[in-house]
Structure 1
């Protein structure tokens, strides 16, 4: 029996070599088959033969049996990368088939659409190598390494689609969502005092803005703010700002809001504040990563693996690697309103341009079928000189709607209705040669004045002449309003402007030289003055020195203004610059020297401005310091008026101190600007005394620290826009396991995202496992089980039997390899270091 037991242990050891590469559908399925079957002769080593003993007779040798087929899940290899798990039928030496649905899921969009549909229809069927080859899927099996390698014939390859503007690749980083309850407030203490005038000139204000979020990303948001007058005259003690509660429905791109709202109307129709409710769809607010503007699309086929580069106005905007087969480039980005797009392909045969075209776009244009709107109802805000939010009893209903008719034309309309005032109109936007054209019309009727009027607007943005390939742009607009037209406002005053026209054209002749020119025309109703103005200038870059000169002429009724504004900017080393300017029309001269602001905390910059003019001289000194907790700005201004004007000298000190507090799921922290959303990085008590540095955004800027002052609190960059957060531990225990170390903050509109670094289970153990006979436990997989909590983590051994046991806290553990066929128990003491070296340990082989 002893010998038999030893042989059985060796059989189990032979089975262990399959562990880390696959997942069994049953315990020891590959080696032992199903219950009740006799042991597979392939699973046992041949009996040893004594020296000089002749081999057994052929007649007495056992007849060969067919190898047993087992179903296993494993990750196939495609183009050097592991794919999701497939279910395969295997023997020890052959691949018999792959289940169709799991194969379709693993290959995904790499497959042609028709082939994907066929595999889905064959769900549950195991397709042989021959059947797969007929479909264009080549499968190769390596029994030595238990790997399946897949490749595709040309007819099986699906279209490789790339949508540039709407993608965000989370990669391997852990994704963290907002806390269930979060609160953030940013406050500014703003003070000013004229040292030459005494306390009478002193002012001290505290203004704040903040939010509360109930229910996380899918919950309710509340934004608020206000100003407290701590010292000074002419203001009330407290004035509140807008108070708005809203909820977002991301999938349907809808926001429902209530409170102090601004009526959303086109510029030509006017604007007003109300207290009421609104329903709106704004993609830039709720789905900023989705491109809703018409963009370029190109489809083609590549014959071999290639690199594709997309250039806009000569600048590389996208580069990607593709396999042979169809390629679909969707939503090709434009750098500006009008861009020259080139698509370059590089493969084994060389580099060549396959397409070039002009792509025009604008924020006012919507892709075909896309719509945006805003509807509101409420009471009009009273016009008050001192501010405040007091409301009349005048009800108002308003709305606007815009829809992309196709990828060229966007049309919409608006309305604002009150009992004694109405405003309706329409808007139109369309692609035009080299750019886009915009038109709007609005009509108003005011019953109190019995006046009816209209307003018309026409604009163009683009580069129709294409005088340069370096992103030049022409802007033109003309607005006309009749005398009876009244735009929506708190007072409904008659329109004073009759014609307002402007044009400017900037042409980048080279990368170092640009010219610009334009003019304006303004005419008023009644006896108002007519204004005409024109300008022309040039900008040149001489190395790092920038120089510009602009000549202008303006006529205001009977008065004229003409002169030249010259400016020179000179860098002073890597972090300083100076700018000097002179305006011959006003006789004003200005010199500024400044340190460039840092992009990582702590931030420090300062500057000096000297101004000299015909009416006064002024000298200004500025300094700023900021870290992740606060921001302090100090400014000193010395003004000396011309003695002939009879004024007095002034010496004014201004300062602004900004800081705020944040709370996420009951944890508080201090930050510079948490009032519009924040990310809080907290550390476990086991990291007391250590410092956690936090970096965010793609450039890797250090934004905050978790230290003795509490968790790191950094501002949310943008609503609904993921941000990369990277964590570094300084001064912690050697070998401390902080977990992922890189996270993707996935915020809502106004959110508090909390990340906690460290845990009780921060230790790792290094160990080499051997069998009772001293042979290493090779390539075995299993789990590490906490005997007190039942929590588990994965573990595997390499070819020498070495393993790393991670996420260990104080307590007792059991290592279970190969489904519990081999076990090893150990304990972690409270005083154990972060890295525990356990040496060589013998596993227990279970019967």
Structure 2
């Protein structure tokens, strides 16, 4: 009984104690710092994860960014943390012993690595050095019937735009006349791809409309301000690599891309090198050499616009008359014209055009529709209104398919008798009917065969129905053969046949022989020529022509130099000999002087070597000439808005010359120039021997200050130190045994020895 009471008492005591014991705390969140692998590839990162209170691991969104993963693809953008088990397509294995985690991420959760399918120059920010250019081409016929024609272009440019004017001056005993061609101010903005032109211009047009010369204002989209931009729908190929791999892309059997990619998805954008039907082969090789090949058919039409791109042009002004014969002949009534192209998708491009003036309105709608891999259909419908004689319509329908082996181009246009546009107002009759069929076949061995059928009908012009055949072949040894024949079914006399054999030989010599017959006229032409080197030099050409027994012989010589091109031509026909001279070049006003140069194209650079002449100048690593005595050379024909490599060759500089750089990437604006300086300095330096007041070499390691240049150096062994930027009188300061010390010495340039050894000079006490 006693044992029963003792047990009851113990149970009550224990119950009271347990009742007073607090409850166990809830499980706490545990921090884990784990080494991370991603799809079997070590990342080299140790990241923070958490575990608890719920099952599974949690990760911060920042971890995704550290792993170059996009949180938006995981659906956790804007969050701080997320549970790994809640993400579809994400798996993991947690190794507690090794404190590591292996993540497995599906391709759908990884942003593909973007690669470019073509190599292009990188566009840059264009710079402009204000200046002016006068391009000229003077052609003079010598002898009794002497005459001269001077074609010219005057151009002024600065950061705001370009003002340009062109014309021709004719001088002879019967005629002295100057005719202005075009005068306009152009402003282009590479950021918006827009340009404004005020003055003479050419109106916008589409494949089913006409363009006209006008005087007025034009606002348009200028894709040429970004030469690296593909405006047509370019192919994009995608793939995935399980491990880091090498990727090769072949277009029609020609390799376009060879690069390495990390594991995961990738995409190759802007696949170029194809127009029409083609075949793309994507080959992925892993480090073990295993290859996976995928072949896809492609079809690209460069006439279309990529999805989302818009091309437009708007003009307002007056029509121009008698171009090239009258300088200022414009219509009085204002006219307007506008064109718009929009890529609605990569398979559909929409076109809209409208114009009007002098009681005439014209408008139309067109489209280009890609039929998958089967070609492109084009169609347009336009109408005109005004008085009864100007009311009408025009319709066009076409189809084009291009492939490496076969191509077909079909086009048909019909317009009613009353259909009119702005060209009709100036008496330029429009086409009433036009049909075109072009068939081309690529044969084996570099041969080609073509057939063309053309039917034309227009007011005031005899109708034509022409059938043409063409054949071409590459024969080897640099020889090329071509033959063609045509006949007009509506005019039996309009027929002809032609043969030509041409080739290129060593030292850039070309030769050609052609023979033909057209409208009962037989002709034979033999030509032998060699162009001048781009870097400068002589070129020549010989030619003989025989037409039904009447012969013409001519010989031409050309010299291309830094300051332009000079050519001479001698002709003999019918027992009479004539000769002519042609001089072409440019005068450039930049950097405070006038510089003679070759004719200047869309962009150029004026290279300056700061007065040092005879320095070779390189364009894309090819010598183009040498600087003049004043130290200048103009480099013409650079690509606007792209990086152009311009440099100098320092190998011919004297030993005492010093340059900071030998090359630069130059980005000119359109029709403008850039001043590029390569300062060439004289190297004034010497090894100077320094002694103390007792005549002993100074201790190595002492710091020396060159007072004139402010540069500091140290004393080497035997009291020798190197001093640069020497002046006729120089001062050196240093501390010797805690006391200031001053050295004064003179320097005179030593010809043929740019770095002489001079001294010794004693260090004397002083400030």
| Same fold, TM-score > 0.5, yes or no | yes
The residue aligned with 2:749 is 831
Q: How does 1:523-562 map to 2 (within 5 A)?
A: 523-524=457-458, 528-557=462-491, 559-562=492-495
Partner Cα distance (1:279, 1:260) in 2:
13
Shift of 1:654: 3.1
Alpha-carbon displacement from aligned partner over 1:649-685 (angstroms, at most 9, x marks no partner): 5433233210111123424321111264321111123
Alpha-carbon displacement from aligned partner over 1:419-452 (angstroms, at most 9, x marks no partner): 32222112212223444333333322353x7321
The residue aligned with 2:499 is 566
Give the SS at the match of 1:684: coil
The residue aligned with 2:186 is 246
The residue aligned with 1:692 is 615
Alpha-carbon displacement from aligned partner over 1:684-730 (angstroms, at most 9, x marks no partner): 23x3xx42222223xx3322321226511121333222211131135
Q: Is the 8 A contact 2:137 2:585 kept in 1?
A: yes
Q: Is the 8 A contact 1:737 1:764 kept in 2?
A: no
Q: How does 1:467-616 map to 2 (within 5 A)?
A: 470=404, 472-489=406-423, 491-493=425-427, 495=429, 497-524=431-458, 528-557=462-491, 559-562=492-495, 564-585=497-518, 586=520, 588-614=522-548, 616=550
Q: Is the 8 A contact 2:125 2:641 kept in 1?
A: no
The residue aligned with 2:662 is 741
RMSD: 4.5
The residue aligned with 1:438 is 378
Alpha-carbon displacement from aligned partner over 1:231-282 (angstroms, at most 9, x marks no partner): 3535x53222211112222211111221112211225332222222221112
Partner Cα distance (1:277, 1:348) in 2:
60
Using a 3 Å threshold, how does the CA distance of structure 1 residues 533 and 224 change in structure 2: closer, same or farther?
same
- Picking from 372, 394, 410, the partner of 2:311 is 372
Partner Cα distance (1:500, 1:489) in 2:
18
2:147 aligned with 1:224: no
Give the SS at the match of 1:293: coil
- Picking from 124, 132, 135, the partner of 1:183 is 132
Partner Cα distance (2:639, 2:674) in 1:
13
Query: Structure 1 length as normaliser, TM-score?
Result: 0.68
Using a 3 Å threshold, how does the CA distance of structure 1 residues 812 and 489 change in structure 2: closer, same or farther?
farther
Shift of 1:109: 11
Give the SS at the match of 1:489: helix
Give the SS at the match of 1:430: strand
Give the SS at the match of 2:215: strand
Give the SS at the match of 2:331: strand
- Picking from 174, 197, 201, the partner of 1:233 is 174
Q: How does 1:327-342 map to 2 (within 5 A)?
A: 327-342=266-281
The residue aligned with 1:58 is none
Moved more, 489-498 or 299-308: 489-498
Using a 3 Å threshold, how does the CA distance of structure 1 residues 618 and 373 change in structure 2: closer, same or farther?
same
Q: Is the 8 A contact 1:268 1:487 kept in 2?
A: no
Give the SS at the match of 1:450: helix
Partner Cα distance (2:473, 2:721) in 1:
65
Using a 3 Å threshold, how does the CA distance of structure 1 residues 504 and 804 change in structure 2: closer, same or farther?
farther
Q: How does 1:358-507 map to 2 (within 5 A)?
A: 358-383=297-322, 386-432=325-371, 433-447=373-387, 450-463=389-402, 470=404, 472-489=406-423, 491-493=425-427, 495=429, 497-507=431-441
Shift of 1:489: 2.3
Q: Is the 8 A contact 2:118 2:257 kept in 1?
A: no
Q: Is the 8 A contact 2:451 2:470 kept in 1?
A: yes
Shift of 1:187: 0.6
Partner Cα distance (2:306, 2:744) in 1:
63
Q: Is the 8 A contact 1:210 1:676 kept in 2?
A: no
The residue aligned with 2:222 is 282
2:96 aligned with 1:162: no
Shift of 1:108: 11
Q: Is the 8 A contact 1:539 1:549 kept in 2?
A: no
Moved more, 351-360 or 652-661: 351-360
Query: Structure 2 length as normaliser, TM-score?
Result: 0.74
Shift of 1:417: 1.6
Q: Is the 8 A contact 2:540 2:557 kept in 1?
A: yes
Shift of 1:765: 7.8
More strand by share: 2
Shift of 1:370: 0.7
Q: Is the 8 A contact 2:708 2:727 kept in 1?
A: no
Q: How does 1:13-162 map to 2 (within 5 A)?
A: 111-114=68-71, 159-162=112-115
Aligned residue pairs, count: 654
Partner Cα distance (2:319, 2:636) in 1:
34
Shift of 1:490: 7.5
Using a 3 Å threshold, how does the CA distance of structure 1 residues 828 and 213 change in structure 2: closer, same or farther?
farther
Partner Cα distance (1:108, 1:307) in 2:
25
Using a 3 Å threshold, how does the CA distance of structure 1 residues 839 and 160 change in structure 2: closer, same or farther?
farther
Using a 3 Å threshold, how does the CA distance of structure 1 residues 809 and 414 change in structure 2: closer, same or farther?
farther
Answer with 1 or 2: which has the greater Rg.
2
- Picking from 597, 600, 611, the partner of 1:674 is 600
Partner Cα distance (2:688, 2:368) in 1:
69
Partner Cα distance (2:116, 2:731) in 1:
48
Alpha-carbon displacement from aligned partner over 1:462-520 (angstroms, at most 9, x marks no partner): 32xx5xxx465433322222222223228433636322222223322235222222222
Partner Cα distance (1:761, 1:661) in 2:
30
2:156 aligned with 1:212: yes
The residue aligned with 1:845 is none
Alpha-carbon displacement from aligned partner over 1:138-184 (angstroms, at most 9, x marks no partner): xxxxxxxxxxxxxx9997997432234585358xxxx8953441212
Give the SS at the match of 2:749: coil
| Bigger relative CO (Cα 8 Å, ≥ 6 apart) | 1
Unaligned runs of 5+ in 1: 1-102, 123-134, 137-151, 641-648, 817-823, 842-847
Partner Cα distance (1:524, 1:295) in 2:
38
Q: Is the 8 A contact 1:663 1:752 kept in 2?
A: no
Give the SS at the match of 1:243: strand
Q: How does 1:1-20 map to 2 (within 5 A)?
A: none
- Picking from 296, 321, 326, the partner of 1:357 is 296
Using a 3 Å threshold, how does the CA distance of structure 1 residues 299 and 186 change in structure 2: closer, same or farther?
same
2:286 aligned with 1:344: no
Give the SS at the match of 2:208: helix
Using a 3 Å threshold, how does the CA distance of structure 1 residues 360 and 835 change in structure 2: closer, same or farther?
farther
Q: Is the 8 A contact 1:786 1:811 kept in 2?
A: no
Q: Is the 8 A contact 2:466 2:486 kept in 1?
A: no
Alpha-carbon displacement from aligned partner over 1:594-620 (angstroms, at most 9, x marks no partner): 234245321432222222222632222
Unaligned runs of 5+ in 2: 1-61, 80-91, 94-101, 690-696, 735-741, 761-767
Shift of 1:775: 8.7
